[in-house]
Amino acid sequence: MTIKLHCFGESGNAYKAALALELSGLEWEPVKVDFFAGETRTPEYRETVNEMGEAPVLVDGDFRTSQSGAIQAYVTEKSGKFGGKTRDENYEILRWVLWDNHKLSSQAGMTRFLMNFLPEQHRNADVIAFNQGRLKAAFQTLETQLAGRDWIVGDSMTNADLSCCGYLYYPEPFGFDRAAWPNIDRWLSNIENTPGWKHPYDLMPGSPADRA
Ligand SMILES: N[C@@H](CCC(=O)N[C@@H](CS)C(=O)NCC(=O)O)C(=O)O
């Protein structure tokens, strides 16, 4: 049975799940979530797709889960890909996925939304500057971890990489200049050069061009 992923192209959180599925070789297909029309906030979405009102959501037969980190863990269980080689590595991966969800992707996703997708009259320069300060600290943490390393944990791509890269390929500005962070830049190239890699707007339905 084909796995379904409720997702949309602008969502870096969904990208983490979609990229894991795509690179795992499992058979999957996207189901477009019309986030910009407010779909995740409707009672119907909460009742039938995800009571948390979020994307991504994976459905595989009777199995359903949300949260990109949980979806990645499911992909690892099913495909054997992107997990650690030892117990210690598995805890390291979990630690970076949780850090990403809290400190990196949450700030990146929110800052990108505030700077690009929120109507201009609602954009608050102080809030954006505060978020960018937090983001800079997160980029520094990642930059330091990647010094002399090709991957965040161990010697191959894991869910730590697939999680932390979630927002870092998008073209919309949010305070991330890849060239300013040489270790992150090199690591993003490692991921991009993995056979089967796709940009979020090529992997999932929906992009800003649809609303232009
Ligand atoms: N930690 C969650 C975050 C999911 C999330 O915030 N998704 C956003 C889209 S990028 C969403 O659906 N937001 C709906 C809303 O806030 O109303 C994950 O990694 O899946």
Q: Are residues 159 and 203 in the same domain?
A: no
% the chain with pLDDT above 90 = 99
Q: What is the pLDDT of residue 60?
A: 98
One domain for residues 143 and 183: yes
How many independent structural domains does the chain possess? Answer: 2
- For residues 62 and 140, membership in a common domain is answered with no
**206 and 131 in one domain?**
no
Residues 6 or more apart whose Cβ sits within 8 Å of residue 142: 104, 152, 164, 181, 183, 184
6: tokens are 């409720």
Structural domain span for residue 50: 3-81+198-211
Structure tokens that stand for 77 in this block:
């269980």
pLDDT score of 212: 84
Q: Let me know whether 73 and 165 are in one domain.
A: no
**From the alpha carbon of 41, which atom of ligand 1 is closest?**
17
Q: What would the mean pLDDT of 177-204 be, rounded to a whole number?
A: 98
- 15-72 pLDDT, tens digit each: 999 999 999 999 999 999 999 999 999 999 999 999 999 999 999 999 999 999 999 9
Instruction: Please state whether the predicted TM-score (pTM) of the whole model is above 0.95.
Output: yes
59 with 118, same domain? no
pLDDT of residue 95: 98
- Residue 3: CB atoms within 10 Å: 19
- Round to whole Å and give the CA distance between 204 and 15: 8
107 lines ligand 1 (CB under 6 A): no
* 103 and 180 together in one domain: yes
Domain of 150: which CATH number? 1.20.1050.10
Same domain, 7 and 74: yes
Which of 200, 182, 210, 198 lies closest to 55, judged by CA? 200
Ligand 1 atom nearest to 11, measured from its CA = 10
- Give backbone dihedrals phi and psi of 172, rounded to 5 degrees, phi first: -70, 135
Same structural domain for residues 56 and 104? no
CATH of the domain at 54: 3.40.30.10
Indicate if the pLDDT at residue 207 is higher than 90: yes
Q: Please check whether residues 101 and 173 belong to one and the same domain.
A: yes
Find out whether the beta carbon of 41 lies less than 6 Å from any atom of ligand 1.
yes
Kindly state whether residues 74 and 166 are assigned to the same domain.
Answer: no
72 lines ligand 1 (CB under 6 A): no
CA proximity to 171, closest of 130, 107, 112: 112
The verdict on the CB of residue 53 being under 6 Å from ligand 1 is yes
Q: Is the CB of 56 under 6 A from ligand 1?
A: yes
- The contacts of residue 105 (CB under 8 Å, 6+ apart) are 12, 13, 16, 163, 164, 166, 167
Q: Average pLDDT in the 86-101 region?
A: 98
Note whether 167 and 113 are same-domain residues. Answer: yes
